[in-house]
Amino acid sequence: MAHYEIEVWDKTGKATADIREFCSNLQWSKTLNGSETVSFEIDLVKFETLLSSIGYTADPFGFFEVGRNDIRIKRNGKYIVGSNVYRFTYRTDEPSIKLLVECVGYLNFYKTMYITADYTNQPQQNIMWDAINKCNQKTGGDYGVRQGTHTGAVIRRDRSYVRKEVASLITQMSNVINGCDFEFTPDKKFNTFEAKGVYRPSVRLTYPGNIQSFNFTRSVANVANYIYGLGSGNGEDVISATAGDSTSQAYLYRREKVAIWNSVTDQSTVTEHTNAVLHYGKDIIELPKLTLRDGALDLSEVDSGDTVYVSLDATYSLKHIEGYYRIQTIDCRVDENDSETVNLSFDGLDIDDIIAKQQPET
Q: Which residues pair with 193 in a beta bridge?
A: 151, 181
pLDDT band at 315 (very low <50, low <70, confident <90, very high): confident
Q: Is 325 helix (H, G, I), strand (E, B) or coil?
A: strand
What pLDDT is stored for residue 50 in this prediction?
86
Distance CA(7)–CA(15), nearest Å, equals 7
Give every CB contact of residue 28 below 8 A, 6+ residues apart in sequence. 36, 37, 38, 39, 73, 80, 81, 331, 332, 334
Query: For the domain 198-216+287-360, what is the CATH code?
Result: 2.40.30
pLDDT exceeds 90 at position 20: yes
pLDDT exceeds 90 at position 234: no
What pLDDT is stored for residue 339 in this prediction?
94
Q: What is the pTM of this model?
A: 0.85
> For the residues 180-207, what does the mean pLDDT come to?
97
What pLDDT is stored for residue 253 in this prediction?
95
What pLDDT is stored for residue 240 in this prediction?
95
What pLDDT is stored for residue 296 in this prediction?
92
Distance CA(239)–CA(266), nearest Å, equals 8
Buried b / exposed e over 253-263, threshold 16 CB at 10 Å, is eebebebebeb
**Rounded to 5 degrees, what angle do the CA atoms 219, 225, 230 make?**
120
Distance CA(257)–CA(222), nearest Å, equals 10
Note the pLDDT tens digit of each residue in 271-305.
999 999 999 899 887 888 999 998 899 999 999 99
Contact 191, 150 (CB under 8 A): yes
What pLDDT is stored for residue 265 in this prediction?
87
Note the pLDDT tens digit of each residue in 81-113.
999 999 999 999 788 899 999 999 999 999 999
* HSE, side-chain direction, 13 A CA sphere, residue 359: 12
Distance CA(230)–CA(128), nearest Å, equals 22
Same fold, 109-193 and 198-216+287-360: no
* HSE, side-chain direction, 13 A CA sphere, residue 84: 18
Distance CA(271)–CA(283), nearest Å, equals 20
Contact 101, 150 (CB under 8 A): no
> For the residues 8-31, what does the mean pLDDT come to?
95
Q: Which of 7, 99, 92 shows the shortest CA–CA distance to 44?
A: 99
What pLDDT is stored for residue 264 in this prediction?
86
256 backbone dihedrals φ, ψ, rounded to 5°: -95, 155
**Per-domain residue ranges for the chain?**
4-104, 109-193, 198-216+287-360, 226-281
pLDDT band at 334 (very low <50, low <70, confident <90, very high): very high
What pLDDT is stored for residue 314 in this prediction?
72
Distance CA(171)–CA(275), nearest Å, equals 16
Note the pLDDT tens digit of each residue in 107-166.
999 999 999 999 999 999 999 999 999 999 999 999 999 999 999 999 999 999 999 999
What pLDDT is stored for residue 13 in this prediction?
93
Beta-carbon neighbour count of residue 306 at 10 Å? 22
What pLDDT is stored for residue 298 in this prediction?
95
Q: Does the domain formed by 109-193 have CATH 3.55.50?
A: yes
Q: What is the secondary structure of 207-242 as a DSSP string?
A: ETTTEEEEE---B-TT--SEEEEE-S--GGGS-EEE
Beta-carbon neighbour count of residue 339 at 10 Å? 12
Contact 50, 19 (CB under 8 A): yes
